[in-house]
Structure 1
Amino acid sequence: MYVIKEKGSADIPEIVITDYINTGYSPKIVFSAVYSDKGFHAHFVAYEKNPRITMTKHLEFVHKDSCLEWFMNFDPVHTDGYFNFEMNAGGVANIAFRKDRYDKTLLSVEDIESLDIRAEVFEDYWTLDYTVPFELLKKYIPDYEFKKGLEHPANVYKCGDETEIPHWGCWSMVNREKPDFHVPSYFGKMTIE
């Protein structure tokens, strides 16, 4: 189980993705998350050279580019739904609140911009940072309450459906014939400490 700690805590845990689905290409991904009085803060490092960035507008299919994703049910007490945060190396996002692949509510561009997304590409890697404000969670989960100690279904992914070498990596492996990240039964668990 991954532990989300308060921002500024010592020893912030990391998730390292090196397991990929049948591709032969497996860039190392490092993910960490913390919380503050504002919301949850996500940080990724993707050790991938020359990431593909073709999607330039929010709500486009960024999973076709070099893409990092965090799916999480932030309030398992009040909902079975989860947010999928999908972003390319240009900081362009496709985000929804959903029950599964098909039952979803896309976030507005205004809501996406509230995440203060920051992406930066370097010679051998790229980084992605954003904040999920508590106010945004309350907008989509009216009864949302920040609580410590619960088990939150979640997963972290790296994909690139139309990159030079298509690839799909997972923290909690999805055992399906075709890659499909929108299967909550394969989510791992995260908790807030």
Structure 2
Amino acid sequence: MDAAILVKIPYLNGLDDQRSVEDISNVLDAHERRPIQHAPWSAGAKQPQVSFALAYGNDDIYLKYYVHENSLKAEYSNFNDPVFEDSCVEFFIAFDDDASYYNLEFNCIGTSRAQYGQYKTGRTFIPVNLLKTIRHQTFVKSNVVGDIQWELTLCIPKTIFKFHPALSLEQSKAKINLFKCGDGLPEPHFLCWNRIEAQQPEFHLSSFFKEITFSRQAS
């Protein structure tokens, strides 16, 4: 992937918080899927196949992950639990020129963990009452060991980004990275959308986020 190419996130007209997550999931199926395929710490081992579709509406970011992996783990069910130990997907975003960023992490049943800060340490947890407003849908297509396929659709309200109370997505810019991990799986893995250069697995490196822009809304 060419880091110089600006990624434009499409606006989904006609979708709002009255539409079901299933409706939004179906709409995202028709949009471009981007692979999360960089595995700089894999040492050549076979990795999960993962992709995502990303769009936005008036008040939400819409995100769907498509995952094909060998095993499935969903131990954590409480908000802000260490879901990265489970079968986990992650979305990191920094708005405009903010040096701090949000990390939103979800296990395969939609349990969420979210924080904000400039570095990996000293981060502030997003309150549970806000995390409860994230709508999600999980669909396990195949649950055969060695051939597990699951999907997670997320409707993330702008209010989740509580340190940006005046956030307007349309035509704004951000820097993001997306990940797939499973620290506590039989075969741990660490995949990233935009390549990271580090000696050991580390997602909290905002210098490797990729710039995006939220496209103009349809008139």
The answer for unaligned runs of 5 or more in structure 1 is: none
SS at match of 1:117: strand
Instruction: Determine whether 1:21 maps to 2:40.
Output: yes
CA contact (8 A) 1:25 1:165 kept: no
Q: Take 1:101 and 1:7, find their aligned partners in 2: how far apart are those partners?
A: 33
- Structure 1 residue 149 displacement after superposition: 5.3
- CA 1:63 to 1:31, structure 2 compared with 1: closer, same or farther past 3 Å? same
Tell me what 1:100 maps to. 119
Could you give the per-residue CA deviations for residues 95-132 of structure 1, whole angstroms, max 9, x where no partner exists?
A: 11221211321112211110112222221311111122
Q: TM-score, normalised by structure 1?
A: 0.89
CA contact (8 A) 1:19 1:26 kept: no
CA RMSD of aligned residues (A): 2.0
Specify the structure having the higher radius of gyration (Cα): 2
Q: TM-score, normalised by structure 2?
A: 0.79
2:55 to 23, 34, 39: 34
The answer for unaligned runs of 5 or more in structure 2 is: 1-5, 14-26, 143-147
Tell me what 1:66 maps to. 87
Larger CA deviation: 58-67 vs 3-12: 3-12
- CA 1:47 to 1:6, structure 2 compared with 1: closer, same or farther past 3 Å? same
Aligned residues: 189
Larger CA deviation: 98-107 vs 177-186: 98-107
2:192 to 163, 170, 174: 170
Q: For residues 1-193 of structure 1, what are the structure 2 equivalents within 5 Å?
A: 1-7=6-12, 12-23=31-42, 24-73=45-94, 75-77=95-97, 79-123=98-142, 124-137=148-161, 139-148=162-171, 150=173, 152-193=174-215
The code of the aligned residue for 1:25 comes to K
SS at match of 1:47: strand
Q: Sequence identity of aligned pairs in percent? A: 21
- Structure 1 residue 54 displacement after superposition: 1.3
